[in-house]
Every structure is written in structure tokens, then in C-alpha cells.
Structure 1
């Protein structure tokens, strides 16, 4: 057996790059792909001939691998989230290159929502007197709110600081202070130069004082969090499927078997034929008759699977309802306390109407009050806040027109999260994480 096949397959790791503008996020991903042989020859050829490259001579501008929009290449900034995929003998990776510009923080939130790890880049030339940039603080705060398990602080452009250990140590100290205030755990630091390739895939000869892993070695070793926590069933109903009665023909003239099934994706727990489930918020009980995939009936449905559930009883089930087991542990509520990141250019206005979309249910929501707004610079709580603007982070209290089955975000990121939608403009106004229900 070859050496490649003997290595352990550690599954798929999703991670993002975050930080301020020009910290080198796109270049870092390009370097990872280039040094790990994750780029095809035709891609390299296209990069070498790119009209917007910002490198000298024949040197390849690796940032263009992820900056795919014309506006991104012209301006030299990342605007939208770019996803890239590569693999090593031990693991597959899904990378989200997220924007650093404050205007596009909402795009960063999107990329971070499914990440197992975050690489926070810091440009050594832009840290003055131990003061980190505002976007570094904001992105670290969002990583904490979203429960990202692993934080890797990539202290980049060490070549501009002549690879001095003291420069690295000073920035580590500054970020450790930030991490302590935010309550971040599992923070690891790597000195590197994404442009030169130091400590990205290969170990740097310029920093013999650093004995830790390269970035790729660290990524290969990270554990992946359980995206689907155990416990009672959480099955948000996305659609109701009704087929013709047995023996009738559909429009194509093919005989079909009739049933009424409820389709959706299992957010937590398992479901089997014979299980007693409760349909919330109504509270009606029913018995599972069948769990179906495309291939046919299954003995069990597990978290992450999209399934069709058939019930023995004829009960009223609609889109937005949730099938649960252990109903006593499921909280049906119209009142929420949540952390929100305001994403809209329109400021929060209590007179405006907002929709709350939670799993497959949508209902009107009213923000009753702002408990506090977070000062990203000082990480202090502003208890007298009355308004929220774009990229503000705050804890709010909401009242809903219709009840939802709400878990805390810490318990279940699917049933513990929501978005607010402006009912007039239909713009996504905020992303929210439930902290109490």
C-alpha cells in the first residue's frame, strides 16, 4: 500500500481568512493552493497573463486566484466571499476568502457561519504601539459570536519586519489581550510571509526562532466541531409533498403510489419509523410511519440528511412547523434575547417592520429594546444605545408575532440562529444568534 493511502483521513475542514484590508488574505490562500499543488497549469498561465496583477516581473500575483470579480481585480480588494477547495493526503479543505473592508462585513459573516476555524491575518507593518486594527477586532468578535472553535492568528508580512522575533512577540501580546477580553479559546499564532511562502506550507529559514507548525500542518491537525449536536429531534418542515392515490396516474401517465410526506433537513437528533413526534408550535403528537430518501425507505434519519417523513396519523403540518422528540425540552416562544450583527445600510428604526426568518418559519418581529451595543474599539458595552448602523454588534430583545421553536446558538447553530429582513426593502437587515429564549 502506498504511503498516501496509509495516512489517516481526517475529513473536511472548513475555514475562513479574515482581517483588515490588505492584510494579505487572498495572497495567503493563493500561496496555500500554489505550494500544495492545488492549482492547474492553465490557471497559472492565466495568472501570469492577468492585466490586473500587482507583482513585479514574472512573479505570479497569487491573490488573483480568489479575487475573481472584475471590480476586485481592478481595485485590489476582496468584495464577495470566494470559496476554494483543495486536498492533502490527510484532509480535504473548503476555504472561504472573506472581505476585509468594513463595508463588506456582512459577507464575512456569511463565510464565517459554517467555519470550523478562522485565520485572522495581521499585517506587521500596520500595528503601531501594540494597537490592533478595528477590523481585526471586529472579525475576532464575530468569530467569537459565531462559536468558531479554532482561531489561528497569522502574523503576516514578517519579511517587512526583517523577520524579527520581537515584532512577532509584541503582536502576540496585543492579540492575547484582545482574546482574553472576548473569551476566545484555542488561539494559536504563526509568523509568516504569504507572499514569500514563509511558514505557509514550507518552514521558513528566516525564522529559526519559531519552532511551531506551519500553517498547513496546523490545519491538517485541527479537530472538526460537531455540526449536528445530539439530543432531541429538530426537523424544520420545508415542504409538504402530496402524491396521487395508489393506482392513479400522474401527468406523464406513470402509475404512482400516494402519500403525504413532510420534507426538510434534520437539524439535530435522529428519527426512526415508530418514533412519536410532536408537531410544534401546535403541540399535536403523531407517529412516524416512514423515513424516506431518494433511494427509498430508511431505518433511520440522521442529522444533516434531507429526508421525507411520513406520519401514520392525518394531522395538520405545514411549512415552518417543526417535528421534535423530547418535546418537553423544546422551547416554543415569542420572546428572544439575541446578539445581532446589523448588516443593512439602513439604520435600525423601531418604526419599521421586520421579518424574522428562523429555519423555515417567517414571522413579523419587533425589536423591543437594545440591551447594549458593543464598542469594537474598546470592547466595552454601551448600555444607552438607541440605534444600530451597518456592522454594529448588539444584544437585543425581540417579540415575535408567531411562536418559534428556539434553541440557543450555543446548543444548536441551526435552530439558534435567524436573520431579520426589512419588510419594505426586502434587504437582509441583521444576522442573529439566540442567547436566551
Structure 2
């Protein structure tokens, strides 16, 4: 039987400017962790030889997306998977172009760690700061700055330390709780899986060692019990009678049979009779487990309701202050605009009551004269919803503090929001 540690899952997002080496780095991780098939490697070797490359170009493993870019196809976040004996990984590979800020927001919103690449020859560029800010805005708990292409600066300790110091100074303005800086060469494999002999002055871990050992268990909120009800299960069966369960994913907190809980928005209290999963009953549920909760009393509970503790409740609010990243290229967000809101399992309609300021992601300057938000712009917005949201501040809970904005006429997702204040 696999140990719990072997089943541990780390989600991380890669970010960086164009040609900083993200494709090569991901290809190197996939190759060195033996997560690619022999025929894939042979195809890459053949393509590399045909192109006249003197080496196996591992960037080709992930560059199916690049062909899509050249054809003008919509770019989305590409998810890739690999595993080591110690941990499983999901990589969200986000595009580096400035016009794909919304894709960066999508990829980093569920990440445990953000991996930001910079080219050692160029140092920090505008995109490096932009991505670092977005990761802090999205409350990604861990950040790793990879100074890539160290082979092209003769593995210089001075170059590395200059970039590390500059980035650390910038990160101090942000809320970046855990920052690591690692010098690498994705092309040659320096400090990717094992420590590099070319940089004896670096005494930290390799990138894969850091990814395998970074502590993420304590990042999850195990204090505030939040269980948004996604589906009510009432099987019409002669075998199972009188079964009533509430299915969903544990957003935060720890739930056990016998615990006293409250159902919102009704405010009724009861106790948990049992917790079921696809593999049978369990004695405890915690994020991000998907479970079915049975209650001792028959209460009127439906999709969109939320189970919490009686003495630890989220805000029940219709007036929401939030940071919104606008994702629609055709219509800007404007004051007075009406939209649909999807928050946990709850749906509502909302009107934009005000725009406090638009944020310049590069300088962190607040433009208080702004009248709207265009594609990829971020601002602090005041919303009024038709039904109360059961919400927490995003800094406290990324699940109950986040929402998406939907254009009702096209049914397209046009914005992503992070709640700053709910009252």
C-alpha cells in the first residue's frame, strides 16, 4: 500500500517572459523524472537532429502549444503531470506574453507554488515583476525564482546574487511568505534534479529536491470549516431507503461524525451523522477531499448552501469589495454593468457599484480616475449581489474568497475576483 507521502500532490505554475526557457525546464523535469515514453523521446531526438540542433532539444516535448500560438489559436493554460517516488505533480504551464495575464491568473489560482523563470543574461524584466505580483495577489503560498541559462554567464555567482538581491527587494513589497532562489541551466540539467558541479558556490537544494520537500500541508486552512453543498443525494432505490446526503468538496477545516454544524443561510444547527466517500465511510474529512455528509436531522439543505461551525461562520453579504482581473477582450467592465457571479456552488447576479482604482501591475500604482477595466487589467471593485454570498476574505480562504464573473448574454467567463471585504 502506498504511503500518504507518496500520494502527496503539489500543484505548481510556471511563469516567465518569452524565451526564458519554460518549455526546456518542463521538458527537463519530465525527462529526468522519466515521465515521458521512449517513443516520445525518440521523436524529439529525431526532430532535434533534423533541425540541426547539437543536443536533444527537450523544449520540443512541450512545444505543441507553440505551433498553436503561431497559428493564432486561443492559448490556454497547459497542464502536465509527472511523479517521483516522493510526490505527484501537476504543472500549469502559463504563457509568458503580456497579453496572457488572464491565463497566468487561471493557472496560479489553484497553485501551491509558483515557479518564476528569469534569463540570467537579461536579469529581472517587467514580466518577472508582473508575475511575482500576480502570484502574491493570488496568495500562492510558495514562490521559487529560477535564474536560468547560468551556462551562458559562465555560472557566475556575482550575476546570480545580483538578480537574487534585486528580486528579494521587490518581493518585500509583496506578500510572498516563502521565497527561494535557485540558479539553474535547464538546457544542461544544472541544479534541476541533482546539484551542479559547475556551481560549487551554491549550497542550496536542486529544483526537484525543493519541489519534493516544500511543506504544503500547513498551507491549507484547517481551522475554518467550510463545506459548500454541491449536490443533494437521495437515491430512489429499494435497497437504500431514507438516505439523504450532501455531496461536495471540503473547502477548509476538518469534519468528523458527531461534530456540531450549522447550515447557512438558514442558520439551523445539527450534528454530522456520517461521512461517506466513493470508497466507503471515513472518520474524518479535510481539504481537498470530495465527500458526502449525512446529518442527524432532516433539514432543508440544497445546492449553494454551506455547512460550517455554529461559532465560526463566513460573512453573509450582498455588498462585496474585491480585486477583479478582467478577462474579456470585447467588452470592458464598467460601473453599472450587470453580470452573473459564480461563487463556490452558489450562483447570483451582480451589479458593479463602483471602481475604486485600477492597479498598474508593473509599478503597483493605483489609478483612481479609471472608469473601467479592459482585458488583463486588475482593479478594486464594489459589487452588489442579488442573493447573499457566504464568503470569506480571499487572504483567509482561497475557495470561499474567490469567484468568477460571467457575461449573461454570451455565457463567457469575463472576470475572476478575489474578495477583499464582504459585509
Q: Same fold (TM over 0.5)?
A: yes
Aligned to 1:155: 147
- Superposed CA deviations along residues 210-237 of structure 1, whole A, max 9, x for unmatched, are 3332212222231114464223432211
Write out per-residue CA displacement over residues 310-369 of structure 1, whole angstroms, 9 at most, x where no aligned residue.
334443222111122225533211122222222221311234321111100010112222
Counterpart-to-counterpart distance in 1, 2:357 and 2:287: 35
Q: Does 1:311 align with 2:322?
A: no
Question: Which segment is superposed worse, 71-80 or 235-244?
Answer: 71-80
Residues 395-419 of structure 1, C-alpha deviations (whole Å, 9 max, x = no match): 2222111001111122221111111
The alignment covers a number of residue pairs equal to 419
Which residue number corresponds to residue 45 of structure 2? 48
> What residue number does 1:241 align with?
233
The equivalent of 1:251 in structure 2 is: none
Q: 1:113 aligns with which of 92, 109, 113?
A: 109
Compute the TM-score of the two structures, normalised by the length of structure 1. 0.86
2:416 equivalent to 1:431: yes
Change (3 A) 1:296 1:29: closer
SS of the aligned residue for 1:48 comes to helix
In structure 2, the residue matched to 1:348 is: 333
RMSD over equivalenced CA pairs, Å: 2.9
Which residue of structure 2 aligns with residue 36 of structure 1?
33
Q: 2:373 aligns with which of 377, 382, 388?
A: 388
Looking at structure 2, the residues matched to 27 and 73 of structure 1 have their Cα atoms a distance apart, in angstroms, of: 17
Greater alpha carbon shift after TM alignment, 379-388 vs 264-273: 264-273
Which one is further off, 381-390 or 311-320? 311-320
- Aligned match of 2:251 in 248, 267, 280? 267
Change in CA separation of 1:218 and 1:103 when aligned onto 2, cut-off 3 Å: same
- Go from structure 1 to structure 2 and tell me whether the alpha carbon gap of 1:389 and 1:18 turns closer, same or farther (over 3 Å shift): same
Change (3 A) 1:73 1:47: farther
- Aligned structure 1 segments of 4 or more residues deviating by more than 6 angstroms: 75-78
* Distance apart, 1:386 and its partner CA: 1.7
- Residue of structure 2 equivalent to 1:325: 309
* Map of 1:174 onto structure 2: 166
Structure 1 or 2, whichever has the larger Rg, is 1
Q: TM-score, normalised by structure 2?
A: 0.89
Question: Structure 2, unaligned stretches of length 5 or more?
Answer: none
Alignment check: 8 A CA contact 1:244 1:259 kept: no
The correspondence of residues 10-409 of structure 1 with structure 2, limited to 5 A, is 11-50=8-47, 56-57=52-53, 59-69=55-65, 71-72=67-68, 79-127=75-123, 132-226=124-218, 228-244=220-236, 247=238, 255-327=239-311, 329-345=313-329, 346-409=331-394
Shift of 1:15: 1.5
Q: How far does residue 47 in structure 1 lie from its aligned partner after superposition?
A: 1.6
